[in-house]
A = this chain, B = another copy of it.
Amino acid sequence: MSSVGTPDPNSGWLSDEELAETRRRLPLLYVEAVPVRVNGLGEVTEVGILLRANLEGAMTRTLVSGRVMFGESLRDALFRHLEKDLGPMAFPLLPASTVPFSVAEYFPFPGTQFSDARQHAVSLAYVVPVTGSCDPRQDALELTWMSPADAASDAIAAEMEGGRGALLRAGLASVGRLF
């Protein structure tokens, strides 16, 4: 959920005003990805987390994330946002199944597990192995690789946008790497 930075050049189907209006009326569909490195047996060895500045200039951490467009398949959306956030040489291995490890529900009002001040968004989240080199684009400053244990730490959770620390932990749990 690209809450910051330059306008999304891919938003084409809706103007900014229309999108703003729609965000007050309907839940928006998102996909999110936890990029990981795996070894030869498929075990997750490292987790990639994006670091960027939010609108107020504070540094926050987040996952690969973005909206599904009209007429776009989930796989196309996932691939597009992985490329947008990790660059064209990341070579992600998209999952054979589109069943997510979690469905995260972001609400624009307080008291919910996941929050997004802009909108009600429902996000299908996937763990995605990447095999190439990652070169964050757009507004991300850096992709930080860390161990599953570090990624699940309270320190990282505290820095993640919108409550995504819990989503990241659920992703790690889904691949047997939450301790």
Is A103 located at the chain interface by the 8 A CB criterion? yes
Chain A binding site: helix, strand, loop or mixed by DSSP? loop
Verify A25–B38 contact, CB threshold 8 A: no
Is B71 touching A107 in the complex (CB atoms < 8 A)?
Answer: yes
A59 in the interface (beta carbon within 8 A): no
How many Å lie between the Cα of A101 and that of B69 in the bound state?
23
Our pick among B40, B44, B74 for the contact of A96 (Cβ within 8 Å) is B44
Closest to A34 in B: B96
* Contact partner, A120, options B40, B71, B95, B175, Cβ 8 Å: B71
A13 and B24 alpha carbons, distance in the complex (Å):
9
A10 at the interface (CB under 8 A from B): no
- Find residues 110-156 in chain A having any chain B CB closer than 8 Å to their own CB: 113, 120, 122, 124, 127, 129
Q: Which 3 A-B pairs have the closest CB atoms?
A: A42-B94, A173-B173, A170-B173
